[in-house]
């Protein structure tokens, strides 16, 4: 579960990025987080992953209290939250398979487990025949699928996708949103940050809209935004 209570985040005396955010996302939910540039979306993501601490208020993520978390606990928090970055952050010198396997190796997974899990997630995202390719040999949509596979491989309870369709054409964007929905249907909590309202329109999901550091609406569907 993700719970923000009266969260204020100031970067400096005159920059208050979040001005009192209240929201709760239950396990297994699918939520779009939308808002104009500069409204505070990235700040919210960084508070969830423990990259930032709130100036005041409380942030609870999957059993961790972010206002008190110790530095050595942060890697454990991060195992519960897979992040799909806007710029993919793939390792260009490693194959598709090894990009995903590497994410398991860094947390100490054993080879037999890696051999079983990596093909499963590549299959889930539709890259089962591309394991030997390098990221540069993939299309933009395929690179995004690889980033999703890597975020999923350690079985986090939550995935945050930051502008996952930012660089894709409308058809590929629809496919990626559908894939995120399928993954959510398997039980992973999904928080999708996007400014593509046309796309959000096509999926009848909860939409939390923020503007100028505050939640301005929180409703199912897009009635909230029109
Ligand atoms: P979004 O992701 O919705 O574009 P951000 O969370 O990045 O919004 O930014 C919210 C506000 O906080 C903006 O006014 C931005 O300029 C400011 N901000 C973000 N990061 C920093 C930072 N590291 N230092 C100072 N101000 C920042």
**What six digits make up the tokens of 8?**
């204020």
Q: How far is the CA of 45 from the centre of ligand 1 (A)?
A: 11
Q: Determine the average pLDDT of the residues in 91-98.
A: 97
Q: What residue's CA is closest to ligand 1, atom 25? A: 11
Q: Which token pair is 33?
A: 């987080």
Concatenated DSSP letters of 197-213: HHHHTTS--EEEEEETT
State the maximum Cα–Cα separation within the chain, in Å, rounded to a whole number: 53
| Ligand 1 near 10 CB (within 6 A) | no
Task: Find all residues with CB under 8 Å of 181, minimum gap 6, and list them.
Answer: 30, 190, 203
Distance (Å) from CA 62 to ligand 1 centroid: 25
- Quick: pLDDT tens for 112-132: 999 999 999 999 999 999 999
Q: Which residue has the higher pLDDT, 13 or 189?
A: 189
Res 202: pLDDT: 85
Of all protein residues, the one whose alpha carbon is nearest to atom 16 of ligand 1 is 38
Share of the chain above pLDDT 90, in %: 86
């Amino acid at each position: 579960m993700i719970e923000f209570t009266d969260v204020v985040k100031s970067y400096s005396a005159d920059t208050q990025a979040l001005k009192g955010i209240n929201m709760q996302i239950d396990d297994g939910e699918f939520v779009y987080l939308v808002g104009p540039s500069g409204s505070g979306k990235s700040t919210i993501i960084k508070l969830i992953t423990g990259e930032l601490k709130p100036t005041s208020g409380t942030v609870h993520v999957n059993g961790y209290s972010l206002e008190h978390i110790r530095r050595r606990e942060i890697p454990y928090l991060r195992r519960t939250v897979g992040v799909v970055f806007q710029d993919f952050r793939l390792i260009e010198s490693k194959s598709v398979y090894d990009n995903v396997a590497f994410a398991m190796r860094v947390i100490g997974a054993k080879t037999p487990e890696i051999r079983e899990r990596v093909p499963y997630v590549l299959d889930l995202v539709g890259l089962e025949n591309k394991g030997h390719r390098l990221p540069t040999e993939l299309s933009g949509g395929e690179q995004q699928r690889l980033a999703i596979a890597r975020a999923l491989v350690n079985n986090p309870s939550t995935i945050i996708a930051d502008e996952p369709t930012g660089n894709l054409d409308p058809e590929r964007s629809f496919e990626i949103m559908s894939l995120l929905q399928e993954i959510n249907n398997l039980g992973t909590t999904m928080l999708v940050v996007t400014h593509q309202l046309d796309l959000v329109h096509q999926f009848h999901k909860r939409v939390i809209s923020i503007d100028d550091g505050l939640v301005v609406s929180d409703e199912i569907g897009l009635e909230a935004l029109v």
